[in-house]
């Protein structure tokens, strides 16, 4: 069973592309959703967050005090890196557990915004980069999340550039509102199936 990483910068539409793969019967692990889940379930991570950011990191009911964490890491690259260094290994553990549950498929996808930044692409056999022009991506996120252009640009700047990610990726899918995504996914699906079956 091959492990395929799938990523794209903010607004690239990587989740949309992942959903197309899911329709084709490919199991998809959504790393960003898993990261939110492990922050309230993984005891090693919870202890790590409390010791790094204080007891106020969690409410009495065990839920995460997102505002407390955000206030600390939002404009502090060092604190954000510290948080990521705790969350990423817990997400990797969740992925490993998830993989054990999946049986008899040629390949699975791991969808992650920070696939390259977190080095988790090294745990995958191949990686796919979903591309879209910067202007298209900014407009999508402004419409989707109601953010200002400045906020979107700020979030985008915290990720590797599209050029850098594309250079690291094995495959690309263009989601630029010009080329159709589904034929690209179908073609890539066939290729990954043949690679996975022979694996």
Place of tokens 């959504």: 30
pLDDT digits (tens, 9 = 90+) for 66-116: 999 999 998 788 999 999 999 999 999 999 999 999 988 999 999 999 999
Q: What is the largest CA-CA distance in the chain?
A: 51
pTM of the full structure: 0.89
Residue among 31, 24, 26 at smallest CA distance from 116: 31
User: Is 9 found in the same domain as 49?
Assistant: no
> Which two tokens mark 145?
């999340």
pLDDT of residue 44: 94
User: Is 197 found in the same domain as 121?
Assistant: yes
What CA–CA distance (Å, rounded) separates 44 from 29? 21
- Specify the number of domains making up the chain: 2
User: Is 186 found in the same domain as 163?
Assistant: yes
Q: What is the dihedral of CA 23, 141, 184, 180, to 10 degrees?
A: 100
Provide the domain limits for residue 23.
1-27+106-199
- What is the rounded average pLDDT for all residues in the chain? 93
What CA–CA distance (Å, rounded) separates 47 from 118? 21
| Total number of residues shown for the chain | 199
- pLDDT confidence of 169, banded at 50, 70, 90? very high
Residues 6+ apart with CB under 8 A from 12: 130, 131, 132, 137, 162, 175
Tell me, what CATH number does 47's domain have? 3.40.50.300
pLDDT of residue 199: 61
User: Is 113 found in the same domain as 20?
Assistant: yes
Q: What DSSP designation does 103 have? A: -
Query: Which of 74, 101, 128 is a domain's end point?
Result: 101
pLDDT of residue 166: 95
Place of tokens 């890491």: 73
User: Is 188 found in the same domain as 133?
Assistant: yes
What is the Cα gyration radius of the chain?
18
> Which two tokens mark 85?
């260094």
Q: What is the dihedral of CA 161, 13, 125, 39, to 10 degrees?
A: 90
User: Is 164 found in the same domain as 111?
Assistant: yes
pLDDT digits (tens, 9 = 90+) for 33-75: 999 999 999 999 999 999 999 999 999 999 999 999 999 998 7
The burial class, CB within 10 Å (0-12 / 13-18 / 19+), for 160 is: middle
pLDDT of residue 62: 93
Alpha helix ranges (H) inside 43-171? 43-53, 66-73, 77-101, 134-145, 149-157, 162-168
């Amino acid at each position: 069973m091959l492990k395929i990483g799938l990523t794209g910068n903010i607004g690239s539409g990587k989740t949309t592309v992942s959903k197309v793969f899911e329709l084709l019967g490919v199991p998809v692990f959504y790393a960003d959703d898993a990261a939110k889940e492990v922050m309230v379930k993984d005891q090693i991570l919870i202890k790590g967050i409390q010791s790094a950011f204080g007891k106020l990191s969690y409410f009495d009911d065990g839920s995460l005090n997102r505002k407390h964490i955000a206030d600390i890491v939002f404009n502090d690259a060092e604190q954000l890196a510290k948080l990521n260094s705790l969350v990423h290994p817990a997400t990797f553990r969740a992925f490993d557990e998830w993989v054990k549950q999946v049986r008899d498929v040629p390949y699975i996808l791991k969808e992650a915004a920070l696939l390259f930044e977190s080095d988790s692409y090294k745990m995958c056999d191949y990686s796919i980069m979903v591309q879209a022009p910067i202007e298209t991506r900014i407009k999508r996120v402004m419409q989707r999340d109601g953010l200002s252009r400045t906020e979107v640009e700020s979030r985008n700047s915290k990720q590797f550039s599209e050029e850098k990610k594309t250079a690291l990726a094995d495959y690309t899918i263009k989601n630029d509102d010009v080329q159709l995504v589904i034929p690209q996914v179908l073609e890539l699906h066939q290729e990954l199936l043949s690679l996975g079956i022979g694996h």
